[in-house]
Structure 1
């Protein structure tokens, strides 16, 4: 007997992730749409639309339909057992969980924290680097609430929840790979159908994918060293094996012997690194008489590693993929010509999209 894949929903926590901590701490997904009253009694789509019109009396027909589609999904289409994906803009990671209850309207003093679905958050540290580019594009939709289905999205994100990484779309879909029944109604909003995409996030993800394609493994150490040289350090990259937990030695001065003297560990894995890596770096920091340490963890760090670093703020810094890309962009014009030829970038100006609830 085949297993039905649950639906997957992208549910944001504010345009800039301002409700992420609240959502995770309170085991809920949703919020926003503060102008709209309680949807508990709105048992039809048209009833939801009436509440949206009352909350946005001057809105266009298209905007009313857009907001109605999102709130109707939160109120009715999302089912218990479905998977929720929450991008965390502050950390660059993604949280995932399962819906465990029906729609609720919370009596929270903050009107942005009322329209919710109860969720059991199961992963809160999935790195964006563990998800393939086409799926990241879908997750870059500007909508607050939308379904993820294109490119085998439901099955793939189910696998991310289970395994921690995106296996990509299956070669062929048929009777052997059923998905949950999906009978779209007029005006239903899906991420796949939305032309509004976070262009900045999409561009960042494209750069990130290109960097790891060209600089995986030992080559990433040389990229990190090039960035640090651009920031005024003299660097030595150690051999690929037997490095004793240090991939790059960096220091000031012509010989790289002046403070701050930094030991650097570089991990190009897509998954978060653990406490063992942090402990090894702490040992290298003391053993080499360095002032500071830098851990470049492409997939970020897990909770155990983060706990070890609580009291190390002025001694150990962590760069994840986003931090390294920031450093590359910040120093791009000072990087070697051959590196810029391998990674051709240019700065562009784009119109800021209108914020959504």
Structure 2
């Protein structure tokens, strides 16, 4: 697994046939043929960083340079669509400053296709939840990804394997892994529960919100305002789409067309949004926020303490404490 930058921001560049890691300020690493060589360079460049972070950097860089081989299965994650790119490594390490954004350490890859996280076994989801930049996948997880890609049925029995020890797990890794599990909970909701979740979130943010009655709603699933009657501004109108595919520009254009002066629009899509749809929202005369599942999960976490009982029943979470010095 090679992560496509923070929040999967480089996934479009990866999809063009690459995987990459950061540490671009280290320059060309092609001469670092051993882990000891990598460790010496990290010690020289970053003498002040904590041992755990130093160990993590050394491990990731060495694996990318010297352990990952041509023909190995490679996976990356698109957080906006909750899909995994699955393919194979087809090239040796290259230093290329102009290929994948600000990630200059690259390997070329050939992608077979995409696999929805929702189609994987729970054990595979848990293993893939790690937010390390690069880590080895269990054989059973690789088989599960290929199974979905090839359309094979799931087997009932699963082999027990020892997970690879993860180097230098940080608080951020744990937080991000937890966020993926929260996104799994959100995805498991049905369409009506998703509308209730959005209403609960708006109530937690200080508005009076309710789900619109079923029937012709002109693209409005949830209505919110400070007074609950829509007499005080802002009047918030939310459309909620719980689906796997991304929303196109026409859907956003229709939603914007139903808004009136004084309204504020929120369009929630668990399948994400196309570039064109984001452009439609940006150029709208009435403020419209597009919320994908990644942002929805972040908002749930941020406002969870203010959730009412109905909201917490939809997404049951517990607080976890972490040592302050780590």
TM-score bracket relative to the smaller structure: 0.7 to 0.9
Structure 1 unaligned blocks of 5 or more = 1-9, 175-189
Q: Which residue in the other structure is 1:115 paired with?
A: 105
Query: Per the alignment, in what secondary structure is the counterpart of residue 278 of structure 1?
Result: helix
Tell me how far 1:295 sits from its aligned partner: 0.7
The 1:278/1:122 distance shift into structure 2, 3 A limit, reads farther
Structure 2, gaps ≥5 residues long: none
- The change in CA–CA distance for 1:308 and 1:132 in structure 2 (over 3 A counts) is farther
Equivalent residues of 2:191, 2:242 under 8 A apart: yes
Tell me which residue corresponds to 1:157.
145
Q: SS at the partner of 1:119? A: strand
Aligned residues: 314
- Contact persistence 1:102–1:117 (CA under 8 A): yes
- TM-fit CA distance, 1:262: 2.3
**SS in structure 2 at match of 1:193:** coil
Number of the residue aligned with 2:126 = 137
Match of 2:241 among 242, 245, 267: 267
Residues 213-272 of structure 1: CA distance to partner in whole angstroms, max 9, x if unpaired?
3x4211221221122123233334223443332112223335222222222111122443
Out of 192, 213, 220, the position equivalent to 1:218 is 192
| TM-score, normalisation: structure 1 | 0.67
The counterpart of 2:155, out of the listed 170, 173, 184, is 170
Q: Could you say which residue in structure 1 is the equivalent of 2:91?
A: 102
Partner of 1:201: 176
2:10 is the alignment partner of 1:20:
yes
In structure 2, relative to structure 1, the CA distance for the partners of 1:107 and 1:353 (3 Å cut) is: farther
Q: Is the 8 A contact 1:104 1:114 kept in 2?
A: no
> Pairwise CA RMSD of aligned residues?
4.5
1:324 aligns with 2:272: no
Q: Is contact 2:222-2:237 (8 Å) kept? A: yes
1:29 aligns with 2:19: yes
Partner residue of 2:317? 345
Aligned pairs for 1:23-62 (under 5 A) are: 23-24=13-14, 27-32=17-22, 40=30, 47-56=33-42
- Alignment map for 1:217-256 (pairs within 5 Å): 217-256=191-230
1:148 aligns with 2:148: no
Q: For 1:228, what is the secondary structure of its paired residue? A: helix
Q: Deviations over 1:144-178 (max 9, x none)?
A: 3223235x322433466689xxx99533589xxxx
Rate the CA distance shift 1:70–1:173 in 2: closer, same or farther, 3 A.
farther
- 2:27–2:95: 8 Å Cα contact kept in structure 1? no
Indicate whether 1:277 and 2:267 are aligned: no
